Amino acid sequence: MPSKAYRVLHTKKSRVMQTTLLCLLFALFMYLFIQSSYFDCKDIFVDGNRILDNEHILQNADVPLGNNLFYIDEKRIIRRLEILPMIQEVKVEKRLPGTLYIHVKEREPSSIVVAQEKFILVDGKGFYMQDVESIREFIDLPLITGLSLEENLRYGQEIENRVLDAALEIADQIWEEHGIYFNEINVSSGENDIWLFTNEGIMVKVGNSKNLDEKIAVFEKLYTKQLEEGNHYQLEYIDISFAGLPVIKYK
């Protein structure tokens, strides 16, 4: 007759084997379940895009419908999309059982640069976003003229140019609130001798970006007065680049 100690030991071994077998069966079940068509990617949604259309983004993301959601490589999607000059950041989200979300953050167009006999759309940091066929597409953006840029610039490249940086800083500071007066930033004389052009063609010398709020306040006061008196079309240029009374020249 088996001893009591033997029966206890045998029972413990049996329980361990049963538990191990159950764990293996559960793992096998989960593996087969994950591999099933239940987790196939059935829908892909894109959000955050305002310039690029969904079709263009999905084509570049290259995620075929029907792939198992667990085996879709998020990093690969991000790498492929962040190559696009218009895209600044990408996040990929998986939602079970079969939906993929691609969240994109596009670069914000800041200015149009006239260089190399074409119009170049750039963001606030000077990234080359795309060529522009007609500036009417971006009528609210400043036109930056007078720049000399290196040849063979590539889409998505950050344009490293000190004079461009100065122009972009001015655009960032004043265009949203005061862009109704101006349409062009001319930097042909360098970053310390910058001119703005009004919609009527009046040249406004601001010099550099220092004390720009005060300079624009002086311009607005003077311009409004000239407008009320009907003399603004007689203005040739206004120099507000220094502290004190502005210099005005009439045609």
pLDDT at position 8, please?
Answer: 47
Residue 30 has pLDDT above 60, yes or no: no
Quote the pTM value: 0.78
Contact yes or no for 130/150 (Cβ under 8 A): no
Measured between alpha carbons, how far is 58 from 18 in angstroms, rounded to an integer?
Answer: 48
- CB atoms closer than 10 angstroms to residue 23: 10
Residue 88: pLDDT band by 50, 70, 90 thresholds? very high
CA distance linking residue 69 with residue 40, whole number of Å: 6
Task: Output the six-digit token pair for 28.
Answer: 């096998």
pLDDT digits (tens, 9 = 90+) for 204-228: 999 999 999 999 999 999 999 988 8
pLDDT of residue 181: 94
Q: Which residue has the higher pLDDT, 149 or 4?
A: 149
Residue 21: how many other CB atoms lie within 10 Å: 10
Nearest to 90 by CA among 41, 42, 47, 54: 47
Asked if residue 114 lies in contact with residue 149, where contact means CB atoms within 8 angstroms, the answer is no
Q: Tokens for 102, please give them.
A: 């691609």
DSSP lists the bridge partners of residue 122 as 111, 128
Instruction: Please name every residue paired with 227 in a beta bridge, in sequence order, or none if there are none.
Output: none
Q: What is the pLDDT of residue 27?
A: 65
Average pLDDT over residues 16-32: 66
pLDDT in tens, 126-180: 999 999 998 888 999 999 999 988 888 888 899 999 999 999 999 999 999 999 9
Domains present along the chain, CATH in parentheses:
38-106 (3.10.20.310), 109-250 (3.40.50.11690)
Instruction: Assess whether pLDDT exceeds 80 at residue 241.
Output: yes
